[in-house]
Amino acid sequence: MTVTTEIGKPRARKEDARLVTGQTMWTDNIQLPGMLHVCYVRSPMAHARIRSVDVSAARSAPGVIAAFSGADFAAEQGSLPCAWPVTPDIVIPAHPPMATDEVRYVGEIVACVVARDHYAAADALEKIDVDYEPLPAVLDMEAALAEGSPQVHEAGNKCYEWVFANGDLDAAFGDAPVVIERTYRQQRLIPCAIEPRAVVCEPVGDEFTLWTSTQIPHVVRFLAAAILGIPEHKLRVVAPDVGGGFGSKLQVTAEEFLALLIARKVGRPVKWTESRSEGNLAVHHGRDQIQRIKLAAGSDGRLRGLSVDLLADMGAYLMIITPGTPLLGAFLYNSIYKMDAYSFKCTGVFSTKTPTDAYRGAGRPEATFAIEHAMDDLAAELGVDPLALRQRNWITHSEFPFTTIAGLTYDSGNYEAATAKAVELFGYDDLRKEQAARRESGDQVQLGIGISTFAEACGWAPSRILGSLAYGAGGWEHAAIRMLPTGKVEVVTGTSPHGQGHETAWSQIVADQLGVPFEDIRVLHGDTQVAPKGYDTYGSRSAAVGGAAVVGACQKVVEKAKVIAAGLLEVAPEDLEWTPGRWSVRGDPEQGRTIGEISLATFAAHSLPDGVEPSLDSEATYDPENFSYPHGTHLCAVEVDTETGQVKIRSYVAVDDVGVVINPVIVEGQVHGGIAQGIAQALFEEAAYDADGNLLTVTLADYLVPSAADLPTIATDRTVTPATTNPLGVKGVGEAGAIAATPAVVDAVIDALRPLGVTDIEMPCTAERVWRAINAAKGGAR
Amino acid sequence: MTKVSMTIDGVRYDDDVEPRMLLVHYLREVAGRTGTPIGCDTSNCGACTVLLNGLSAKSCAVLAVQADGGEITTIQGLANGEWHPLQRTFHEEHALQCGYCTPGMIMAAVDLLRANPNPTEQEVREGLEGNLCRCTGYQNIVRAVLRAASEGAAS
């Protein structure tokens, strides 16, 4: 029997000690002897042929060691990897880290300066002369697919078409009493981790160490080795303290490859740190889809069929999982609802904009937005309460495990329980009454209620499923336990945290498994020399997959300790029983050895049983059979000033079911942060381009990341339905808030305004857009 | 080059700097005080906030020469034997995740509580408007500042 003591405790984090005192090791803090600084020339044009690049004047500028253009790397730089060729006939254009012939978005790297300090490098950039021949920008997805459109790449603007269908669509839609057809737009977003990216590379002989602000040191190592021809065993990749990611650092970047190539050329350590303006141009963007949705239902509100037709903007090139990102939503448009038929089509489209890729939720926020928004539209069409419509259609808790129309098997959940809790906490009925009264009185400030009864698929793992989707990697996770002679424990994990608190949460797991104090455990990560195996951190996978690997490694330690304890106690192993932290003789509990005593005895190795190796250290690799399926009900009430269009979030309730909770404080923090990003998409943020393809939101003065004054206090609660797909029963929480929040907020705004005739507002719902929608509904100009 | 001298976290520094050098670059690259990070280039994010002569300042918006003769406190100089109350409440209230905004957020909060020792929740939210956090949604940051205030952090 395992007595749980640490799992579930609201432990304050181990990580914080260095973070609140400024002792953090960000990549940009690294200083090495003789280190040089790199600055890049980036294309100021959305699309152009490069006629010539002249770096000679820069080379002779003060403090400059070298300057390079794409031609200098042409033979060795290869092409940045796309690891998810989603269809056999997908177009994957060459993507040199430094452009050689053509540039296809503002911000693409064209040349670089290597100098003694950052100021000298930045000064010399101005001496580089690039002659561009302008080519037409391609900015609109529908226009890009039309006959005669200018081409981003020779092979055309269509990247791929991916389809999925299940059930009899014709029957579902044929004589359906109600069919709603809508087009929604997912605006382009910029992830904006507060730490800008940075890379440091140190060459020693023919070996390299690369420090990089990344979520995926192991993947960077593998792909840099495979593509640049640096032998894998001679490349060490380190993710030191990393200041947020949200998917933006789930990438293998031009700047990482170029740091290796430049360091090799100049034979000295090099550093590159981006400015925020550089980052908004060059870090991959998120979302940017047009969603055409058709939803068929009976007159009783029972769903019959759903058809989804997406256009997804890839941007100019395919990054690591660019084409697959919209497909992560393909299996979730049906969400928690039962229906007879479902079809999904996604067309990937190239544009002359920054490449898109994973951003918190990656495909699932888009899917959840669309279905929840469509459910509200359907409820309005039918004249029923939108919550009642959801209840009419959702999978009930007695139906699990449930295989959905999209083919996923949801292992567990209880949508009724989470919703009941949320409705009570929110005061749903009272708010509906107040809404009715305000409508009745024609109040200038109208009240709207948004509902998001969401589920998602995360715990990004099952290698076999990923393989079946043409994903170019596996999804297992690795852990090792090192028992130190003094009884202290080192945990090596292949996950790579950047704010999530793995050092704390993994310590809680190990404390329970081995029965050692929380304080006696140290978690090591993010360095391929220390933690050599792993698939890193994204897709809310770390606890469900990496945590499960930690459990597996601990269990092996306990089994090894049993054999050694039996030798020490001179009894047979089967006569021993385990209580956390100690093997003792069954029926004679005084006779026993703690795990620390066993560890010391193993270190001495004087009296181990014959044939037993003197080590308790163990490792485990875990690959689950299925994803995990967090769910929850988020309810949002907004007040909308119908004269000004101003939206104010009045209350927000989130009841999440993320399975077993390792640390409730960390879980709540993830929910808060996810919701903040979901609200940001709903109300504030948009990456905007002008007609020439220039990004207009290059700085944080233009791209409106919300501040404390912009966001509400969120009321959170939980239900706990353990996952059955991993030994911890955890489901993942990193993305849930970002997936749930956007439709809750936008639907609340529209709910407030439906009596005025407003049925849709494009995100972000700024005061101007809301005012224009109200005005248009009144018959005025937009 | 221009000669500057200033006190950083209680230690006197004298250096020759380019007149255009930003204070944050001086702190990080000349004085080696890397606890103060840089998050943007338009003074929007506040990650680089320090105390300059007792008042909060975004050190990316100040030239090193403007700080000549000044006294600077960074996150690395805030603890006095034991953690400052805000460092403690940020830890205890889980007011940080990745921690990149934390130095600036704490230094801005120090100045906020100096000016207003007993702020309301709304006053905390508005007072920290110049410091962006992408991880926490600010809820626990606000809670940590209110708790530090209630425990008399400003006194």
Q: What are A355-403's pLDDT values in tens digits?
A: 999 999 999 999 999 999 999 999 999 999 999 999 999 999 999 999 9
pLDDT in tens, chain B (155 residues): 999 999 999 999 999 999 999 999 999 999 999 999 999 999 999 999 999 999 999 999 999 999 999 999 999 999 999 999 999 999 999 999 999 999 999 999 999 999 999 999 999 999 999 999 999 999 999 999 999 999 987 76
User: Does some domain include residue B18?
Assistant: yes
Q: Is A499 on the interface with B (CB under 8 A)?
A: yes
Instruction: Verify that B111 and B129 share a domain, yes or no.
Output: yes
CA A234 to chain centre: 29
pLDDT digits (tens, 9 = 90+) for A707-748: 999 999 999 999 999 999 999 999 999 999 999 999 999 999
Is the Cβ–Cβ distance between B86 and B127 less than 8 Å? no
Give the tens place of pLDDT for each residue, A298-324: 999 999 999 999 999 999 999 999 999
pLDDT of residue A3: 52
Cβ <8 Å between A669 and B135:
yes
pLDDT for residue A477 is more than 80: yes
Residues A254, A281: contact at Cβ < 8 Å? no
CA distance A550 to A537: 15
**pLDDT for residue A157:** 98
CA-based nearest residue to A748, from A264, A276, A386, A235 = A386
- Asked whether the beta carbons of A313 and A188 are under 8 A apart, the reply is yes
First to last CA, chain A: 66
- The reported pLDDT for the residue numbered A4 is 56
Q: Bridge-partner residues for A133, per DSSP?
A: A49
Amino acid identity for residue A272 in this structure: W
Q: Is residue B105 located within the same domain as residue B55?
A: no
CATH class of the domain at A476-622: alpha beta
pLDDT at B153: 78
CB contact under 8 Å between A194 and B98, yes or no, is yes
Q: Give me the pLDDT at residue A415, please.
A: 98
What's the CA gap between A753 and A751, in Å, rounded? 5
Contact residues for A778 (Cβ-Cβ < 8 A; gap 6+): A756, A757
User: What is the mean pLDDT of the segment spanning A162-176?
Assistant: 97
Count how many domains chain B has: 2
For residue A603 the two structure tokens come to 């270190």
The answer on B97 and B54 residing in a single domain is: no
Q: Which of B77, B109, B142 is at the close of a domain?
A: B77
Q: Which residues contact A521 (CB under 8 A, 6 or more apart)?
A: A488, A489, A490, A491, A506, A507, A510, A511
Provide φ and ψ at A631, rounded to 5°. -150, 180
CATH number of the domain residue B115 falls in: 1.10.150.120
Q: Do both B105 and B133 map to the same domain?
A: yes
Residues B114 and B49 in one domain: no
pLDDT over threshold 80, residue A331 = yes
Q: What is the pLDDT of residue B155?
A: 62
Same CATH topology for A31-135+195-243+249-282 and A476-622: the answer is: no
* Confidence (pLDDT) at A782: 61
Q: Determine, yes or no, domain membership for B155.
A: no
CA dist A78 and A99 (Å) reads 11
pLDDT, position A2: 46
**Cα A5 from Cα A594, distance rounded (Å):** 17
For chain B, give the secondary structure using H, E and C. Answer: CEEEEEEECCEEEEEEECCCCEHHHHHHHHCCCCCCCCCCCCCCCCCCEEEECCEEEECCCCEHHHHCCCEEECHHHCCECECCHHHHHHHHCCCCCCCCCHHHHHHHHHHHHHHCCCCCHHHHHHHCCCCCCCCCCCHHHHHHHHHHHHCCCCC
Helix or strand or coil: residue A610? coil
CA distances from A264 to A71, A207, A519, A762, B142 (A): 16, 9, 42, 48, 47
Report yes or no: A78 and A52 within 8 Å, Cβ to Cβ. Answer: no
Q: What is the arithmetic mean of pLDDT over A211-232?
A: 97
| Residue B116, domain extent | 85-150
In angstroms, what separates the C-alpha of B69 from chain A's closest C-alpha? 24
Q: Are both B92 and B127 inside the same structural domain?
A: yes
Interface check for B59 against chain A (CB to CB < 8 A): the answer is no
pTM confidence score = 0.98
Asked if B20 reaches chain A (Cβ–Cβ under 8 Å), the answer is yes
Tokens describing residue A150: 């200018």
Task: Give the CATH H-level superfamily of domain A31-135+195-243+249-282.
Answer: Aldehyde oxidase/xanthine dehydrogenase, a/b hammerhead (3.90.1170.50)
* Pair B91, B27 in one domain: no
Counting Cα atoms < 13 Å in the Cβ hemisphere of A653 gives 22
Mutate to test the interface with A, among B17, B106, B139, B140 (most CBs of A within 10 A): B139
Whether residue B8 contacts residue B27, with contact meaning beta carbons closer than 8 Å, is answered with yes
Could you say which of B52, B77, B102 is where a domain stops?
B77
Checking DSSP bridges between strand B49-52 and strand B71-73, what pairing results, if any? Answer: antiparallel
A274 vs B: CB within 8 A? no
pLDDT of residue A1 exceeding 60 = no
Q: What percent of chain A has pLDDT over 90?
A: 99
Query: Any idea where the domains of chain A sit in the sequence?
Result: 31-135+195-243+249-282, 361-372+384-456+628-777, 476-622
Q: CA of A184: how far to CAs of A477, A754, B96, in Å?
A: 37, 17, 35
Mapped to the 3 state alphabet, what secondary structure does A510-533 carry?
A: HHHHHCCCHHHEEEECCECCCCCC
Residue type, A510: V
Q: Let me know whether B95 and B72 are in one domain.
A: no
Does any domain span residue B48? yes
pLDDT digits (tens, 9 = 90+) for A490-501: 999 999 999 999
Summarize the confidence of residues A197-217 as an average pLDDT: 98
Span A582-640, pLDDT tens digits: 999 999 999 999 999 999 999 999 999 999 999 999 999 999 999 999 999 999 999 99
Interface mutation vs chain A, best among B89, B125, B135, most A CBs within 10 Å: B135
Same domain, B96 and B33: no
The answer to whether B3 faces chain A, any CB pair under 8 Å, is no
pLDDT in tens, B17-59: 999 999 999 999 999 999 999 999 999 999 999 999 999 999 9
Backbone angles phi and psi of B31, in degrees to 5: -85, -10
**Contacts of residue A699 in chain B, CB cutoff 8 Å?**
40-42, 44
Q: Which residues of B touch A708 (CB under 8 A)?
A: 124-126, 128-129, 131, 133, 138, 141-142
pLDDT (mean) for A288-300: 98
Q: What is the largest CA-CA distance in chain B?
A: 47
Using a CB–CB cutoff of 8 Å, tell me whether B114 touches chain A. no
CA terminus-to-terminus distance, chain B: 41
In contact, A130 and A46? CB cutoff 8 Å = no
pLDDT for B154: 72
Please identify, among B77, B95, B123, the residue that sits at the C-terminal boundary of a domain. B77
Of B103, B126, B137, Cβ closest to residue A22: B103
Smallest Cα distance from A639 to chain B, Å: 18
Q: Is A257 helix (H, G, I), strand (E, B) or coil?
A: helix
| % of chain A with per-residue pLDDT over 70 | 99
Name the nearest CA neighbour of B37 among B82, B84, B96.
Answer: B96
Alpha helices in A267-337 (DSSP H): 276-282
Residues in CB range of A592: below 8 A, 6 or more apart: A565, A569, A576, A582, A583, A584, A585
Nearest-10 Cα torsion for A365, A371, A375, A378: 140
CATH of A361-372+384-456+628-777, one of 3.30.365.10, 3.40.50.300, 3.40.50.360, 3.30.1370.60: 3.30.365.10
State the pLDDT confidence band at A641, using cuts at 50, 70 and 90. Answer: very high
Beta carbons of A500 and B101 less than 8 Å apart:
no
Mean pLDDT of A94-114: 98
Cβ separation A26–B37 shorter than 8 A: yes
Q: Do A24 and B99 touch (CB under 8 A)?
A: yes
Has residue B15 been placed in a domain?
yes
Task: Specify whether B92 is located in the same domain as B143.
Answer: yes
Tell me the per-residue pLDDT of A121-145, one tens digit each, with 9 for 90 and over: 999 999 999 999 999 999 999 999 9
* Contact indicator for A212, A257 with CB cutoff of 8 Å: no
**Statement: residue A573 has pLDDT above 90:** yes
**Cβ of B75 under 8 Å from any chain A Cβ?**
yes
* Residue A711 DSSP label: S
